[in-house]
Structures are given as structure tokens and as C-alpha cells.
Structure 1
Amino acid sequence: MDACALSFWIYMGVLSVFVGGTLKKFLASHVSAVPSLVAWLGATLLVERLCAMCMPAVLALAVFCATCWLYSLWSAPPPVLPVEGKAVFITGCDSGFGHATARRLDAMGFQVFATVLDADGEGAKRLRSSCSSRLTLLQVDITQPQQVQQALLNTKAKLGIKGLWALVNNAGVCVNFGDAELSLMSCYRGCMEVNFFGTLCVTKTFLPLLRQNKGRIVTISSPSGEQPFPCLASYGASKAALNLFINTLRHELEPWGVKVSTIFPSAFKTGQSSNTEYWEKQHQCLLQNLSPSLLEEYGEDYVTETKDLFQKFAKSASEDLSPVVNTIVESLLAPQPRVRYYAGPGVGLMYFIYSYFPLSISDKFLQKIFLKKKVVPRALGKQNELNRINDNNNDIISNNNNISRIE
């Protein structure tokens, strides 16, 4: 094989390594990884140009070896902290992310404190039957400060002099669906009570144990707390308040050595999301409590379509919770955990578009992937019909005037 042919094949090998690395970074990327992704693309272009200049075979071989070495370092699994002796407190373990995380962490050897709303429910029974004696089950409603305080006392009694390694704020609710104007005030308060005030109460209560151990706080939030998802105003507002609180806490706890991370999952089947009876109950509650004038302006068909779209979206959500559970584990064991994690299919792309594209494009993207409404509010439909009739009448008058001028 002559030197030219050898250089060509080495060139193809180097290019394949860089292009493969770029694709891997893109598929796993999130917004904070964009600068490194751009740098990797720049390196790919530089190496491609050097190789294309027909460098000598020996030099090309050296570049190929260096590239493979750097790639192996980059793609090596990151170091993790040992599990031994670490205790984790998790809220909302009846089902969903909390339930799956409690089981995973228990299997890994963590000492787990798992809170449930119903100590006699199916979720609690599964935890008792499938987990080790290290797991402690606590019945806690995080909106009740007395229960949160009792959970602290029970946790301290189990831990002894040992501090708490991590708090996983997972408990949350989405108690309604619908336009911001249609959403009931009780729904706004319900979301704030659990998603913000409840999480705030738990976090403040357990902070002394976390500071003692220089531990970490991991909070499950939602993209709807940062992006304007249609018909999720009450839920999104509560998550937005939570995000700001957690982000402020991150700055304040840095001198104490406490690491704070927030996880933004994509759509998954958790809690009541796939419960048809739940959505129907919420739908009927909304119809019964809307003012007659508001219901007349929007129309029952408009409200019903929103319910149907939510059900359809929930059914298409992923049942595999492992992306979020894996991310929680990573945030607990990484020597330097990230401030923000994006877990699940599509959420990284969504944040990329939201961060780097014009709002008009970002808004259209959200509407396309979330709720594709076809029914317009009744009052708007009547107004559009009236405008159409007026436009037709104006066209007829204009045509008659033109005919008169011709005559």
C-alpha cells in the first residue's frame, strides 16, 4: 500500500472518530453542553482540513493515535463516589420517580428514607416487600409541617450521629388542566401548596442534617416552570417559584459545601397522568365551578377538547422511568454534580430551541409537541364568523360600485 492510500485510510479513521464523537455529544447534549459541543465541532473541522492537505503517512498515523487516545479519555465513564454509609431522604414515593428511585437506591446499598402519602397503599406495600431492611417508610404529607417535623425526628433517631447525605425533592402534583383564565384559584393554590410550599418546608427542615454532612439537594422540577406550556399555568407557576428558590439556595449553600441540583424531566407516565378517571373528575370539577359567562364565552367543547388532548398526551408518554432515575443516581454520586440535568427524550432539544432560537419559533415548537388545539373559543368563533360575513358584504358592495362605474 503506498503512502497516499495509507494517508487516505488514516484520514477516514480520524474523521470517523471525530464525527462519531460529535454525534454522541449532540444526542446526549443539553444547553450547558453547547459550548463544548461547538468546540468539538471546531476540532473536527480542523483535523479534517489537516488530513485533507495530504499530510505524510507517519504524521497522519500520529494524529490518528492521538485522536483515539483523547477520545478514549473523553468517553471514559466519570468517577463516582462510594455508596457505603450514605443516607438519602426521598419525598413522594407512592409511585413514579420517587418509588422507582427508592427501590434503585436501596438495591445499590443506600440507607433510604422514603415518604408516602398512604402507608397502606399499593406503592408502600411494594416498597416493603421488595426493599431491604435499610429502607425506612414514613407516612408524610409535605403540606403538613407537623408531619414533616415528625419525619425529621424519626430520621434523626435512625441516623444517630450520622448526617444525611442527600434530600431528593420529588413530591409534586398537577391538580388541573386548562387555560390560565379557566383554571380555578383552588388549583393555583393546590399546586403552590405541594410543589412550592411543601418542598420549601421539607428542604428547610432537613437542611441542618445536610449541612452537617456537606451533602446535596436534588429537586425534580419541570420544563413548564421555565417555558410557557399551554394550559399548564397553575402547575408551571408553582414550578417556576420552586426553581427560583432552589437556585437561590444553591448560591447560599455553596460556602457550606452543600451541592444543589435540579432535574428537568421530559414527559413520563407518573402518578395520575394516565388515570382516565382522574382526568374526567378534573374535567367535571372545572365545568361545575366555571362562571356561566366564562363557560359561555369559551364553550364546553373547547374545555372538553383540552381534557382529551391531555389524556392523549399522557398516553403517549414514556413508561420507562430509568432516564430520570439514572440522572438522580448520577447527581447523588458525581464528585461535582451539575447544577441542571435534562432527563428523557427530546428535553435537551427543546431547551436548545428555547435558549437559542427566536421566541416565535420556540412558542410554535411548544404548541406543536404539546397541545394541538383545533377548537376555538365559542366567542372567538362567533366573532370570526361575523368578520367573515362583513368581509363578504364589503366585497359585494365593492363589486357593485365597480360595475356602476363601468356602466
Structure 2
Amino acid sequence: MFCLLLALAGILYVGYKLFQHQRGKTIIENTNNRHVLITGCDSGFGNELARLLDKRGVPVFAACLTEKGTAELKKHTSSRLRVLQLDVTDQNSIHDSVEFVKRHLPKSSGLWGLVNNAGLQILYAPLEFHSHEAIQKCISVNLLGSIDVTKSFLPLLRKAKGRLVFISSDSAIIDWPCRAPYVISKVGLEALAECLRRELYHVGVTSSTIQPGPFKTSIVDPNEMKSTLQRAFDSVDEEVQQFYGQNWLNKIKESFSGIPGIQYEDLSPVTNAMYHALFSVMPKRRYRCGLVCEYYFYPISLLPGWFNTWYWKMSPPPDAKRT
């Protein structure tokens, strides 16, 4: 009996997955009447998505942090795309962005999509090297900013029965050493998306997360990572410096040079996933983007915790010994 139930469950699961895959290929109609707001459009995924949607006739509100980012995006998009400046950590800036969107939405229309893309990584180093300010900034932008922006735009999203999309990371799959604040912020985004799926279920607003693997964007710059690590090392207590040592520091900095070799330059797997989350009749709960993320990081994450701890452990300082 147990084997029969197990087989039945397996058949139902495979059947549902096939239905989901086939149904997910269908794109909703009239995408040129569905307005989408994207944060963090200065560069990277947000910038690429804004251009993609603009080319496909989708009306876009592209939120940039800097005037330079605003000017550059305007050069490569149509007059249909509207650019605004938004600092996701500033309540006044968020309020102004809501008013901007309301002014430019058609009368009695809501906001179809909100893509929470704005994010940063302050430092790749053990927690002892992260200052309070660095930790706070990372979590404020990546997590609290998304919470505040989402909260402010929910009435407009409810009105359209629209889509919420959160740009997470492979850091929500693997608890990387030396990236604790960043990992915390991305795991938090996953939890936020799950909570909102349940809260908004009866009003028709869906919530999806995108988990990119190692793609080449400005958030990961080997030279900048070396500089920030050196500055952090120079600023910590002498006891911490002595524990880790100069040899360990040099080894970690050297490892950054290999990052470009594993990064995907083509960002389309991520932007295509974002597009699917926004406009598929049956969007997925989460999208793992890139072969490394889908077929390496994710399967390993399912293995026992002790194995993941051993496999992903940080390179130890010369004198560090387990007791």
C-alpha cells in the first residue's frame, strides 16, 4: 500500500510539473498596457530588464539611484520609458516615487509589476571585518529597502492584481562564508516573498524570486573587492589582524582574480526569468538562473548540513586549529 501511494504521489508530482511547464509558456495578453516599476536600473539586471521590456513595448518606470545612471538609460531607451531617481533606503525618496508613478499611470489603473532589483555587496570577508555601518548598509539596501518599497506600492499592485518579483541570489541557496550580511539579506528576501504569497493570495498578487548564479555585473568587481578587503583589514583590531595574518589576506585577495572566469557575461537567462515572472500565465515561485546555480549549487544544498559545512568552509588562517 505504501509503495502504491508513493508511486501515485510521484505520478501526480510529475504530472503537475509537466502542466506547470506547458502552462507557463503562455504569456498574458496586452503587455503593452501593463506598467512595471524596476528598482536599481543604473546597471546590471535592472538596466538590462528595463531595456528588454521597453523594446517589447511594455511601459516601464525605471528607478535609478544616480543622475549618471538616469542619463545613460535614457540614451538607450524610447520616450515611452519613464526614468525616476529612487534611493530605496530613503523614505522621502520612496514617497516621491509613489507619487511619480501615480501621476503617470493611466486613470483608474494600477501597477502591474514591481521588480525589487536594487542591491549591493559591501565586503567579502569574515564577519569580524564588517563594520556596523557596512552591515547596516547591506541589509538596508538589499532587504529593508525592498520591504519599504513593496509596502508603499502594494495598494497599486492590489489594484492591478499584479506581480511582485524579488532579485535574490545563489546566496539564498548556499550560506557562503565571508558574505554573512549579504546572505542574510537574500535569505530575508526569500522569506519576504513567501510571506507575501500567503498574505496576497486572495487578492491575486503573485510573488516570485529570482536566484542568479555567478553573472557578470557591477556588484562583483574583483579589483574593488580587493580594495575593500584591504581597507577592512587595516581598520580592524591588531588582535584580529594577527589571527588572520598577511598570508591569509593575500591568499583571499588572489582568489578574487579567478572570479571573472566563472561569471556568465550573458545576462539574458536572468532577464528572461524576470520577464516570465512578470508576464507568464503561471509564474514560478522561484527561478534558479544559470547552469551552476541549477545543477551545482542547488543539488549540493540538499545534502546534509555537515557536508555543506565542510565543503564550503573558508580557507583557514595559518594558525587556526579546530579543538
Q: TM-score range by the shorter chain?
A: 0.7 to 0.9
Counterparts in 2 of 1:36 and 1:299: CA distance versus 1, 3 Å: farther
Please point out which of 42, 45, 49 is paired with 1:97. Answer: 45
Confirm or deny: 8 A CA contact 2:36 2:114 kept in the other structure: yes
Indicate the RMSD between aligned Cα atoms, in angstroms.
2.7
Q: Quick check: 1:296–1:378 contact (8 Å CA) kept in 2? A: no
**Greater CA deviation, 100-109 or 181-190?**
181-190
For residues 237-252 of structure 1, the aligned pairs below 5 Å read 237-252=184-199
Counterpart in the other structure of 2:283: 337
Q: How does 1:371-386 map to 2 (within 5 A)?
A: 373=315, 376-380=316-320
Q: 2: CA distance between counterparts of 1:192 and 1:117? A: 17
Q: Compared with structure 1, are the counterparts of its residues 189 and 77 closer, same or farther at alpha carbon in structure 2 (3 Å cutoff)?
A: closer
Quick one: structure 1 residues 112 and 76, their matched pair in 2 at CA, closer, same or farther if it must change by over 3 Å? Answer: closer
Matched, 1:274 2:221: yes
- The answer as to whether partners of 2:173 and 2:298 remain within 8 angstroms in 1 is no
Matched residue type, 1:214: K
Task: Pick the aligned partner of 2:271 from 325, 348, 368.
Answer: 325
TM-superposed deviation, 1:75: 6.9
Deviation of 1:38 after TM superposition, in Å, equals 8.4
1:174 & 1:99 partners in 2: Cα distance? 18
CA contact (8 A) 2:28 2:279 kept: yes
Number of positions where the alignment pairs a residue of Structure 1 with one of Structure 2: 310
Q: Counterpart of 1:209?
A: 156
Question: Partner residue of 1:218?
Answer: 165
Q: Provide the rounded CA distance (Å) in 1 between the counterparts of 2:263 and 2:24.
A: 29
Partner of 1:146: 92
- In structure 2, relative to structure 1, the CA distance for the partners of 1:75 and 1:115 (3 Å cut) is closer
Could you say which residue in structure 2 is the equivalent of 1:398? none
Question: Mean alpha-carbon deviation: is it higher for 283-292 or for 87-96?
Answer: 283-292
Distance 1:37 1:366, change over 3 A: farther
Structure 2 residue matching 1:379: 3-state secondary structure: coil
In structure 2, the residue matched to 1:18 is none
Report whether the alignment pairs 1:155 with 2:101: yes
Q: Which residues in structure 2 correspond to 1:249-398 (within 5 Å)?
A: 249-274=196-221, 276=223, 278-349=224-295, 350-355=297-302, 357-366=303-312, 373=315, 376-380=316-320
Residue 164 of structure 2 aligns to which amino acid in structure 1?
I
Q: Give how far 1:331 is off.
A: 0.7
Instruction: Specify which of 73, 89, 96 is matched with residue 127 of structure 1.
Output: 73
1:111-147, CA deviations, whole angstroms, 9 ceiling, x for partnerless residues?
Answer: 100111112x2x4333212211111111111111101
Q: Residue 346 of structure 1: SS of its match in structure 2? A: helix
Amino acid at match of 1:213: A
Counterpart amino acid of residue 235 in structure 1: Y
Structure showing the higher helix proportion among its residues: 1
Name structure 1 gaps, 5 residues minimum.
1-34, 41-69, 388-407
Cα distance in structure 2, aligned partners of 1:353 and 1:226: 9
Match of 1:48 in 2: none
Shift of 1:339: 0.9
CA distance in 2, matches of 1:378, 1:75: 54
Find the aligned partners of 1:228 and 1:257 in 2 and give their Cα distance: 32
Contact kept, 8 Å, 2:243 with 2:319, in 1: the verdict is yes
Q: Greater shift after overlay, 199-208 or 243-252?
A: 243-252
TM-score when scaled to structure 2? 0.88
1:256 Cα shift?
Answer: 1.0
Q: Which residue of 2 aligns with 1:25?
A: none
Alignment of 1:88 with 2:36, yes or no, is yes
Q: Paired residue for 2:176, among 229, 233, 253?
A: 229
**Distance in 2 between the 1:80 and 1:184 partners?**
46
Identity, in percent, stands at 34
CA deviations over 1:206-236 (Å, ceiling 9, x no partner):
1110000000100000121342212111110
Task: Give the Cα separation in 2 of the matches to 1:360 and 1:287.
Answer: 29
Deviation at 1:263, TM superposition (A): 0.9
TM-score between the two structures when normalised by the length of structure 1: 0.70
Gaps of 5+ in 2: 1-9
Q: SS where residue 128 of structure 2 aligns? A: coil
Which residue identity lines up with residue 359 of structure 1 in the other structure? G
Are the equivalent residues in 1 in contact too, given 2:166–2:189 (CA < 8 A)? Answer: no
